[in-house]
Structure 1
Amino acid sequence: MVTRTDPLAPGSGEAAAGTVTTFNAFARFAATAPPTPPEPGQAPRPLEERLAYHSQFVTVRTPAIEALARQVRTLMILGQHQRVTARPSLIVTGPATTGKTTATRLAAAYHLTATQLLDGLHITATGTSAAPPATEIHLSNEATRRLSDFTRIPPAHLARALPRRPPPAAIGMAHAAIARWQPVQPAVQPVPACTACTARRSPHKPVPAWIHPAPDLPRAMICTRHQQASSDPRHPTPLDIRTVPELTHARLTTRRPPTAASLSWATTITTRWYDHHQHLHQRWHTRLRRLTTANPHIPQDPASPTLTCRNLITYPETLTLATALDRLPPHSLPRTQQTAFLHHLASRLQLPHLAPADHDLLWQRLTTR
Structure 2
Amino acid sequence: MTTTFTVPPELSASEPPEVRGLARDGVRLLVARARGPVRHTTFAALPAALRHGDLVVVNTSDTEPAAVDGHRADGTPVTVHVSGPAPDQLHVVELRTPDGHRVTDGAAGEGIALPCGVVATLLTGHPDPRVVSGSRLWRARIPVAGGLRPWLAEVGRPIRYPYVPRPWPLDAYRTVYARAEAEFGSAEMPSAGRPFTPAVLQALHARGIGVARVVLHTGVSSLEAGEAPLPERYRVPEETADAVNATRAAGGRIVAVGTTTTRALETVAAPGGRVRAAAGWTHLVLGPGRPARVVDGLVTGWHEPGASHLSLLEAVAGPRLVTRAYAAALELGYRWHEFGDSCLLLPAQSVRRPG
- The structure whose residues are more often strand, as a share, is 2
Q: Give the structure, 1 or 2, with the largest relative contact order (CA under 8 Å, sep 6 or more).
A: 2
**TM-score band, normalised by the shorter chain?**
under 0.3
Q: Normalising by structure 1, what TM-score?
A: 0.24
- The structure whose residues are more often helix, as a share, is 1
Q: Normalising by structure 2, what TM-score?
A: 0.25
Larger-Rg structure: 1
